[in-house]
Amino acid sequence: MNKSRNYFHLHLVSDSTGETLMTVARAATVQYEDVQEIEHVYPLVRTQKQLDRVVSEIQAAPGIVLYTLVDKDISARLERTCRELGIPFVNILDPVFAVFQSYLNVTQTHRIGGQHELDAEYFKRIDALNYTMMHDDGQIWEDLEAADIVLVGISRTSKTPTCIYLANRGIKAANVPLVPDIPLPPQLLELKKPLVVGLIASAERIQQIRRNRVLSLQSENYNDTYVDRKEIAREINLTRRLCSDNEWPLIDVTRRSIEETAAEIMALYRAAKTKQVDDQEV
């Protein structure tokens, strides 16, 4: 029996892209099983005229208002509107700014969208994305040594989305598929700089994903072994053996989100970098 859900309006108002707000809002709303938000997102609100539409929509559908607005006049008007309507509102960065200012004892610069400036970090992420897209699914093997991280795994272990997630954080990530009876590129076994990580999942999970993929593609020209559970189990065992032989860390992604998998890979990467530095100093 399905539980009835209570719906509420959630207004996210930002003078930048709104990504920070959406991340915080979704982290909060997922904690409440019996409620469902109706999300209204207003990015790039930087003038009073742009705020007019926001105010109008909040008045039409009152709810919770979360915002990140640097301009004091715009944020003051939004707060005034919320008070008049008797609805809750939170500038989600205020508590963070207060802690930083108290600890650092420096003045806040009030830069709008400062995290999205076209600085060296931004271009590092773009460079990483370009590298990752060019090296997806083993497309280019010759320069794997230029990668920061190389993921290996059988089909449907989320190698590509994990690589893209890492690239968005400035990590050059390549991935190499493990296909039965097809030799690995010799460069993979000779890598010195990149961290190589193996990805696996349960045979049941991979079988389910592969079946869904075959159905979605409406493909009749596929090998039966692709969705055969015993064959999938054999592929998984080959992955385990390969990683064990080469002392590569192995991550089971069966019950992990892309974000959780990437977080563990990043922890392994930082540990490997630290070890490299320590070895050089010895």
Q: Confirm whether residue 240 is marked as ligand binding.
A: no
Q: Which pairs with CB-CB distance under 8 Å and at least 24 residues apart come from 246-251?
A: 246/189, 246/196, 248/152, 248/196, 248/197, 248/198, 249/195, 249/197, 249/198, 250/197, 250/198, 250/199, 250/200, 251/197, 251/198, 251/199, 251/200
Q: Confirm whether residue 155 is marked as ligand binding.
A: yes
The whole-angstrom separation of Cα 18 and Cα 54 is 14
Please report, in angstroms and rounded to a whole number, the separation of the first and last CA atoms in the chain: 64
Q: Render the burial of 167-182: b for 16+ CB within 10 Å, e for the rest.
A: beebbbbbbbbbeeee
Report which of 137, 261, 153, 156 is spatially closest to residue 207, judged by C-alpha positions.
156
Positive or negative, the Cα torsion across 114, 117, 122, 126?
Answer: positive
Q: How far is CA 112 from the centre of its chain?
A: 23
Q: Confirm whether residue 219 is marked as ligand binding.
A: no
Q: Confirm whether residue 157 is marked as ligand binding.
A: yes
β-pairing verdict for 195-200 and 250-252: parallel
The helix (H) or strand (E) run that includes residue 27 is: helix 19-29
- For 182, the token pair is 């097809």
The whole-angstrom separation of Cα 185 and Cα 137 is 12
Q: Confirm whether residue 159 is marked as ligand binding.
A: yes
Q: Confirm whether residue 160 is marked as ligand binding.
A: yes
Binding site feature residues for ADP: 153-160
Binding site feature residues: 153-160
